[in-house]
Structure 1
Amino acid sequence: MAIKFHYLVPIDFTPVTENALVFALDAAKYNKGEIILLHIISHAKERIVAERNMNDLAKKYENSEVTISTRVVIGKVLRDIGIIADSLGVQLIIMGTHNTSIWQKIFGSPALSVVSNSNVPIVLTQQDTSFHKIKTIVMTVDLSRESVQVVKYASRVAKTFNSKMYLVGQKYSDEGLMQKIEVNLKVANGYLKDHGLEANIHLLENTNFEKNLIGYCKEIKADLLAATCYQDGFSLFSTNLVQSLSENELSIPVMTLDGEDTSTGSQFGFITQ
């Protein structure tokens, strides 16, 4: 049975975030999901104009298949999107991501700042990202045990769209590192099997892994790429790499979540929830 999703779409009235709304709308049609549009303002005096613009946007995309509602909230964008998503009980945040400047590449993009402040998984879309029924999901697994956290959320999407799952890890020459990768792949695959999902496992060369990963996504025609994000810059899937993946040349949407916020003290305890 498909899982009903409630989607939160942050809106700043740019084409990028409007395209995120189009993506969410097409996704919601598959499971009779509901969409909440969110616009965050700095001052109360902005509310009247913001609410009018939000209502106009909702009316523009009004249809009989999906319910669209709006929220205008006073707050701080980077901090409060995740808090609001949690309070509303949504399952996914669909967020348009703007191309990063050279300074943002150094200090971090706004989109990844939202990820670090959210317990709700986020799907990052580009202006050129268009929705295709999610038939194929590529999920990355690295050396850290937290990397398998995203499997829980990717599996929910897979059940909704009856998707094929591909677990991808790096190929190391070091035997100890390969053992860590194999353990994490086994844990992730076991979780999927326990939830009635099958997955293919594929190892990619460690050198130029990001390029190899996008190449593999192109080869199997991936519709969604899932990766846990870490604030630790030394981890494979640090914010810098996930940021780069979110701007991939194929415009594949990237689902991510903050590995630090969702981890627990026990080994793989988070994945059983």
Structure 2
Amino acid sequence: MKKILVPTDFSQYAEYALQAAASIAKKQDATLSVVHMLGLSEAVISRDESKKALEGLYYLKLAEKRFAEFLDKEYLEGITIETAVENYTVFSELGSIAEKRGADLIVMGSHGSSGWNEVFVGSNTEKVVRTSNIPVLVIKGPSVGFSMNKAVFVSDFKEANLHAYRQAMKVFKLFNTELKLLYVHLPGEDFKSTYEIEDRIVSFLSQSGLDDAHHIKNVAFINDYTVENGVFTYSKKIGAEVIAIPTHGRRGLSHFFSGSITEDIANHSKLPVITFKI
């Protein structure tokens, strides 16, 4: 991992993300790319010598000053940091900015307790998770010394999730993470027998093309009334530090489960959540 992108609005939750990103950067010898999304209109940032141009210059200078204060932290010592002010039309462009800057991971802060009310305006964390081809790590609280020693990857193990699974395995291998695979068995019309589910998982793991460690015996099965409850119960039971979820780019956060399971988990989880695009 060479570069980690951290979008910031200089708030408390943005600093939580910075703390986590700093811990990762030290372990991976990675550069932090800290980006402030300014959001000015093209008229304000135009070269025309006008009041609007002067206003744009004012905001740029103010951002530079706030960067100096925001990055004056002991836990950042020894880390290579680059800063930038990026203008944007929609916040979903952050994924493209991360790709342009060569980032391997986006780390964002979020309240997440009530419908993605996070440090950024509106539902911007959701927009980034939905559109980014780069993995997104969502941080919920103070994260100095952040680690991913143990993680849960939840899936229904359908073929559509293979790309996300391979992405997750690549990231967790870098961290020597002890990974637990999880299938949550729900009551209802889509009920499958144990043998049917096991056959699907065996096929999925075989198609992944990964090593022999990815075996049906390494998959945990839990019965619950919702995927969300099942994930939280199991994560607490094994002492997981991170929850990993595949996510679709369509219809908000609809993905490998019906409904908005990824959104529910990311909103209500007390643990950091890392998402991988299907």
In structure 2, C-alpha distance between the alignment counterparts of 1:19 and 1:234, rounded to whole Å: 27
Query: What RMSD over aligned residues (CA atoms) do the two structures have, in Å?
Result: 3.1
Q: Shift in Å at residue 84 of structure 1?
A: 0.2
Name which one, 1 or 2, has greater alpha-carbon Rg: 2
From 126, 134, 137, the equivalent of 2:148 is 134
Partner SS state of residue 19, structure 2: helix
- Equivalences for residues 104-123 of structure 1 within 5 A: 109-123=123-137
In structure 2, C-alpha distance between the alignment counterparts of 1:148 and 1:206, rounded to whole Å: 24
1:92 aligns with 2:105: yes
- CA, structure 1 residues 207+6, in 2 after alignment: closer, same or farther (shift >3 Å)? same
Q: Shift in Å at residue 24 of structure 1?
A: 0.6
Residue type of the partner of 2:277?
A: D
1:217 aligns with 2:232: no
From 215, 238, 244, the equivalent of 2:264 is 244
TM-score between both structures, scaled by the size of structure 2? 0.78
- CA, structure 1 residues 209+63, in 2 after alignment: closer, same or farther (shift >3 Å)? closer
Q: Deviations over 1:86-141 (max 9, x none)?
A: 1111110001123364697xxx9321111222111101111355654311121111
Gaps of 5+ in 1: 260-273
- CA contact 2:254–2:261 (8 Å) conserved in 1: no
TM-score between both structures, scaled by the size of structure 1? 0.79
- CA contact 1:125–1:254 (8 Å) conserved in 2: yes
In structure 1, C-alpha distance between the alignment counterparts of 2:204 and 2:212, rounded to whole Å: 13
Residue type of the partner of 1:200?
A: N
Gaps of 5+ in 2: 46-55
1:253 aligns with 2:260: no
Structure 2 equivalent of residue 268 of structure 1: none
- CA contact 2:185–2:221 (8 Å) conserved in 1: yes
From 60, 65, 86, the equivalent of 2:73 is 60
Number of aligned positions between the proteins: 253
- CA contact 1:138–1:217 (8 Å) conserved in 2: yes
Structure 2 equivalent of residue 263 of structure 1: none
- CA, structure 1 residues 196+8, in 2 after alignment: closer, same or farther (shift >3 Å)? farther
In structure 1, C-alpha distance between the alignment counterparts of 2:159 and 2:5, rounded to whole Å: 28
